[in-house]
């Protein structure tokens, strides 16, 4: 005897991504939604315009307008057939890429004016953005902010907080603001509380890097993302103090002749793993490791230890 659970019509389902509802539903007409649902039902298949319009019960012109809306929102990609017979029919494929990976049509000045005129929130955002940035918004500036809202789903209050953070770190160019906004959207920063938490995290990273610069005596510069993450982990997460960071740096320079991030990170990771958090412990631990290496060389007659050889190859130079 065989058993099964029968869900009836729920045995056959297809997926609708969350962000279609969360970000785009208010922008879509009834026909747009019908066309999108049909494409989701047939994801991966190539479907011509006539088939789409017939199935959803819309005219070819109406279906084509819906497809244009969906394409501009980055939900659909369009491929044109190369043969003459099909040159009038566009083949439509559902595109599963995340919205920020798709190149959007930048909103025109007319588009922006209409969006701002019809939304009190967006009007307020544009006015406040000028105050925060200390300059009038150009059409290009406005287009970036509208795109972050319409295409990436950032609420106006979150965008304003993003601008305040950008000003605080002296990076008010729209390329940086756009990149930062997209990264916030990717990790779901969609309210003030999440934005505040993210800004606190970024500020702590910036402070940790400034402390690191002071400890090892280098000129101020913008760290790479890998550097920022590593230094924040040492200082903010693992709570290593100035003396320990300086000890790790000195050992790194003594061994490599220069600052090598991965080498320093390996030292501090080992300390954290072995519970070495005080400078006295670090010095004692280093003395023990030195005696161990000396004994190993004496026993084998080799001019280097296996451990040194392995570490040297694993810890490639990455500045």
Which residue segments constitute the domains of the chain, with CATH numbers given? 13-101 (1.10.10.10), 109-190 (1.10.10), 214-314 (no CATH)
Q: Token pair of 306, please?
A: 């296996």
The residues pairing with 79 across neighbouring beta strands, listed in sequence order, are 91
C-alpha neighbours within 13 Å on the C-beta side of residue 109: 4
Which pLDDT score, from 0 to 100, does residue 120 have?
93
The answer to whether residue 284 scores a pLDDT higher than 60 is yes
Mean pLDDT over 127-148 rounds to 94
The answer to whether residue 135 scores a pLDDT higher than 90 is yes
What is the DSSP secondary-structure string of 254-308? HHHSS--HHHHHHHHHHHHHHT--SHHHHHHHHHHHHHHHHHHHHHH--SS-HHH
The answer to whether residue 6 scores a pLDDT higher than 60 is no
- Among the listed ranges 22-26, 152-156, 202-206, 277-281, which one has the minimum average pLDDT value? 22-26
The answer to whether residue 302 scores a pLDDT higher than 90 is no
The answer to whether residue 217 scores a pLDDT higher than 60 is yes
Check residues 198 and 28 and name the one with the higher pLDDT.
Answer: 198
Which pLDDT score, from 0 to 100, does residue 73 have?
78
CB 107 within 8 A of CB 146: yes
The answer to whether residue 56 scores a pLDDT higher than 50 is yes
Mean pLDDT over 93-114 rounds to 61
Q: How far apart are CA 248 and CA 224, in angstroms?
A: 19
Name the helix (H) or strand (E) containing 77: strand 76-80
Mean pLDDT over 226-250 rounds to 95
Q: How far apart are CA 32 and CA 44, in angstroms?
A: 19
Which pLDDT score, from 0 to 100, does residue 9 have?
58
Q: How far apart are CA 211 and CA 195, in angstroms?
A: 24
What does the mean pLDDT of the chain come to?
80
**How many other C-beta atoms are found inside a 10 Å radius of the C-beta of residue 75?**
25
Q: How far apart are CA 89 and CA 69, in angstroms?
A: 17
Check residues 220 and 232 and name the one with the higher pLDDT.
Answer: 232
Instruction: Name the pTM for this structure.
Output: 0.57
The answer to whether residue 312 scores a pLDDT higher than 80 is no
Q: How far apart are CA 96 and CA 193, in angstroms?
A: 29
Which pLDDT score, from 0 to 100, does residue 292 have?
62
**How many percent of the chain have pLDDT more than 70?**
76
Which pLDDT score, from 0 to 100, does residue 250 have?
94
105 pLDDT tier (thresholds 50, 70, 90): low
pLDDT tens digits along 67-76? 888 887 777 7
Q: Token pair of 151, please?
A: 């295409």
């Amino acid at each position: 005897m065989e058993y099964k659970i029968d869900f009836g019509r729920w045995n056959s389902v297809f997926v609708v991504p969350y962000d279609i509802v969360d970000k785009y539903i208010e922008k879509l007409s009834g026909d747009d939604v019908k066309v999108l649902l049909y494409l989701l039902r047939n994801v991966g298949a190539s479907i011509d315009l006539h088939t789409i319009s017939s199935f959803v019960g819309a005219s070819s012109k109406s279906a084509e307008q819906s497809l244009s809306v969906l394409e501009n929102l980055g939900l659909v990609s369009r491929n044109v057939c190369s043969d003459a017979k099909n040159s009038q029919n566009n083949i439509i494929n559902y595109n599963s890429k995340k919205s920020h990976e798709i190149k959007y049509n930048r909103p025109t000045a007319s588009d922006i004016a209409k969006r701002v005129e019809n939304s009190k929130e967006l009007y307020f955002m544009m006015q406040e953005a000028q105050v925060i940035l200390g300059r009038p918004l150009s059409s290009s500036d406005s287009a970036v902010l509208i795109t972050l809202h319409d295409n990436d789903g950032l609420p106006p209050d979150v965008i304003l907080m993003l601008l305040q953070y950008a000003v605080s770190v002296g990076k008010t160019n729209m390329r940086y603001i756009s990149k930062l906004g997209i990264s916030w959207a990717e990790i779901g920063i969609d309210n003030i509380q999440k934005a505040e938490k993210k800004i606190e995290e970024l500020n702590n990273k910036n402070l940790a890097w400034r402390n690191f610069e002071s400890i090892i005596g280098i000129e101020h510069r913008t760290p790479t993302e890998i550097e920022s993450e590593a230094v924040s982990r040492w200082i903010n997460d693992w709570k290593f103090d100035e003396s320990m960071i300086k000890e790790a740096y000195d050992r790194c320079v003594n061994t490599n002749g220069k600052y090598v991030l991965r080498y320093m990170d390996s030292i501090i990771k080992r300390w954290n793993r072995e519970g070495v958090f005080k400078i006295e412990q670090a010095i004692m631990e280093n003395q023990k490791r030195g005696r161990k290496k000396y004994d190993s060389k004496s026993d084998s007659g080799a001019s280097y230890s296996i451990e040194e050889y392995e570490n040297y190859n694993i810890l490639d130079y990455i500045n």
